[in-house]
Chains A and B, each alone.
Chain A
Amino acid sequence: MKGIIGKKIGMTSIFDPSGKQTACTIIEAGPCVVTQVKTKESDGYNALQLSFGDKKEKHSTQSEINHFAKATTAPKKFSKEFRNFSIEKNIGETITVDIFAEGESVEVVGTTKGKGFQGVVKRHGFSGVGEQTHGQHDRQRAPGSLGNSSDASRVMKGMRMAGRMGNDRVKLKGLKVVKIFTDKNYILISGSVPGHNGSIVLIQK
């Protein structure tokens, strides 16, 4: 596996030379510092801890400062572990967008936009009950029956109901890298990625 931490910047669309328009998301990915190297001998598994985004020292705890000092870097906002990293890196080294190539298929992990408390029509794709007319009243977005009557006498576990929607960790697979700007650390990924602009996403393969 290889991966990088990035910040979603926004969406736009670009044209390829034949005139085909593609919707793309711009992500400012890296540079990430390797702040910890975990090995099978010392930790039981192989992993790299990458850190992204600078943070002021006065906003960091002493343990954070000491941890990042081992990699001789300033305190960072976000750290994430990537297991079985395919590229050999030592502590303190940086990882930039050029670990990916244009045209490569990647996975993007992010946290979706929070939608608040939503009904079953929006949350689970129910079609609602009944019609607008024929004596119906107030039932157009209702969930309908929750289950059987006396045989069970309870609502089954996992019954889909209204509730909090969004703000979930979501992984999208098979997104294509359209373009990489190494000088600005931008990576263009086809289609949309989870989360609002400015949110943290992981790009991995």
Chain B
Amino acid sequence: MSAIKYVHEQLSSKKEFPAFKPGDNITVNYKIIEGNKERIQSFKGDVIKRQGSGFTATFTVRKISDGVGVERVFPYSSPNIDSIVVNKAGNVRRAKLFYQRKRSGKSARIREKRMITTDSQ
């Protein structure tokens, strides 16, 4: 086993999150410490980037808040991420959706991926 992997197996949190891709709409529930109180803040938006590998990977979530685009980078292995909820799977052709930064309104929508589910019949 490589040394870096060994170190992270000892130290890093082993939380399991649902799989998500760029284009998906997710909610990240993030722990925030104010003074000595801890509360959970949720950040809902589209994943526009997944970067890095292993325990140092990050992902970027973009949302439009009061007409202003807000992007936030989350480290995937951060102990402060409480949970991740995948709201919608997006149908996109790129791994990095930076073109979303130039778009607004209707053109900034991401087409939802339609899945064929057999068990509902």
Residues of A participating in the B interface, judged by any CB pair closer than 8 Å? 9-10, 12-15, 17-19, 21, 26, 28, 179, 181, 184, 186, 188
Contact = CB atoms under 8 A, between A and B. Distances in A.
Contacts of B79: 15, 17, 19
B120 to A, nearest CB: 40
Given A18-B33, A19-B31, A181 B7 contact: yes
Given A12-B56, A14-B11, A179-B11, A19 B80 contact: yes
A186 B55 CA distance: 18
Interface string B20-49: 000000000001010000000000000000
Nearest to A185: B3
List the 6 closest A-B pairs by CB distance, nearest first: A19-B80, A9-B3, A12-B4, A14-B11, A26-B3, A19-B79
Contact of B7 (A14, A18, A21): A14
B99 interface: no
B14 interface: no
Interface string B73-108: 001011110000000000000000000000000000
Given A19-B78, A21-B78, 18 more contacts: A9-B4, A12-B4, A12-B8, A12-B56, A13-B56, A15-B75, A17-B79, A19-B33, A26-B3, A26-B4, A26-B7, A28-B3, A179-B7, A179-B11, A181-B6, A184-B3, A186-B3, A186-B7
Nearest to B80: A19
Contacts of A188: 7
Given A19-B31, A21-B75, A10 B4 contact: yes
A18 B32 CA distance: 10
B12 interface: yes
Nearest to B81: A19
27 contacts: A9-B3, A10-B3, A12-B4, A12-B8, A12-B56, A13-B56, A14-B7, A14-B8, A14-B11, A15-B11, A15-B13, A15-B75, A15-B79, A17-B79, A19-B31, A19-B78, A26-B4, A28-B3, A179-B7, A179-B11, A181-B6, A181-B7, A184-B3, A184-B6, A186-B6, A186-B7, A188-B7
